[in-house]
Chain A
């Protein structure tokens, strides 16, 4: 089955610790995205990548870093510089092509990050 997987489902971070969230897709999608969701708020874009070895900051990139060494993988690191990391983190991907097909984003099941 094609899809997007994220791990772990729950992650606990201690003060001053960097943690990495995994995102893998086998949909052969070119573009991948990381969002953060807080209660009562819409999803906010952290980083996105349109092709391998290239990525761009989204609206709230401070305190986060990413890499895109493989088409299938787009890991997100939450660094100690992110002072309020507790949130639901969602990875998404979208296919190449034109119009509506390209614009539709498909989401992984998410990772809940909690600070100890």
Chain B
């Protein structure tokens, strides 16, 4: 079983739609959680950290469910510019700053 699992998609949605991605992680000792965005053939960029209480940044909302070991990302009012691959990232406890990356969920927003 992969340490971090995501639905690869693609999710094809029209502009203005609301779309949600889920991600599951296997290690219950995981400490920190992030969503990164990666455009085609570019480097990943931090979209937002995910806090236990849930957090929102404009049209983006992240939620964490530790009991079920999943993280979600909700995008409201989708824009064409939201088209990208969204990477779920988990930091496990212990030692150095090791991040485990999911393979990503691809989003395609169309006019």
Contact = CB atoms under 8 A, between A and B. Distances in A.
Contacts of B34: 103-104
Contacts of B8: 40
B45 interface: yes
B104 A42 contact: yes
A31 B97 contact: yes
B97 A102 contact: yes
Interface string A82-102: 000000101000100000101
Contact of B99 (A56, A88, A105): A105
A108 interface: yes
Contact of B45 (A48, A56, A107): A107
Contacts of B44: 43, 90, 107
B97 A106 contact: no
Interface in A12-26: none
Contacts of A106: 46
Interface residues of A, number: 25
Given A42-B87, A42-B103, A109-B42, A100 B98 contact: no
Contacts of A90: 43-44
Interface residues of B, number: 23
B4 A50 contact: no
A42, A50, A94, A102 — most chain B CB neighbours (10 Å): A42
Given A42-B100, A102-B97, A108 B91 contact: no
Nearest to B91: A103
B49 interface: yes
Given A31-B97, A42-B87, A56-B96, A100 B32 contact: yes
A110 interface: yes
Interface of B: 2, 4, 8, 32, 34, 41-46, 49, 87, 91, 96-104
25 contacts: A42-B2, A42-B102, A42-B103, A43-B44, A43-B87, A44-B101, A45-B99, A48-B96, A48-B98, A50-B96, A56-B96, A88-B41, A90-B43, A100-B49, A102-B97, A103-B32, A103-B91, A103-B97, A104-B34, A104-B49, A105-B97, A105-B99, A106-B46, A110-B42, A112-B41
